[in-house]
Amino acid sequence: MKIKGIYKIKIRVKEIRGKGECAAGLKVGDEFEINENGQPVPISFCAWAFNAMWPFVTAMRYGGILPWEKDPDKAYVACPDPETTVIFEIVREKDEEDYKELPAF
């Protein structure tokens, strides 16, 4: 028996508001991938931003949807920095090659 698997997730920096310069060095257009093993973004990635987006990433990796988003395969999350807010787009990759089935326990 198989259960629903895990999707690959891509994270993109869409916008930087406020001062326009992220303290962690992120720039508009930067992309990161979280694969089926949960290997996250680079070690230098901002912990505050990662902590803000992780619940959304986890739900989307396992096939969940966020009912307030227009596209079920995308979500938008902002880091909590009030001076320079970074807006991230989280995209669920639906390519069947990127979908990994998990065996049921």
**What does the pLDDT look like over 4-20, one tens digit per residue?**
678 889 999 999 998 87
Average pLDDT of the segment spanning 75-82: 93
2 pLDDT band, cuts 50/70/90, is very low
Higher pLDDT, 44 or 6: 6
35 pLDDT above the threshold of 90:
no
Q: What pLDDT, on the 0 to 100 scale, is given for residue 98?
A: 47
pTM of this structure: 0.81
- Of 7, 1, 37, 12, nearest in space to 89 by CA: 12
Question: Per DSSP, which regions of the chain are E strands?
Answer: 2-6, 9-16, 31-34, 74-78, 86-92, 100-103
Backbone angles phi, psi at 85, to 5 degrees: -85, 125
Question: What number is the average pLDDT over the span 21-25?
Answer: 87
Q: What is the pLDDT of residues 86-98, one digit of tens each?
A: 999 999 987 665 4
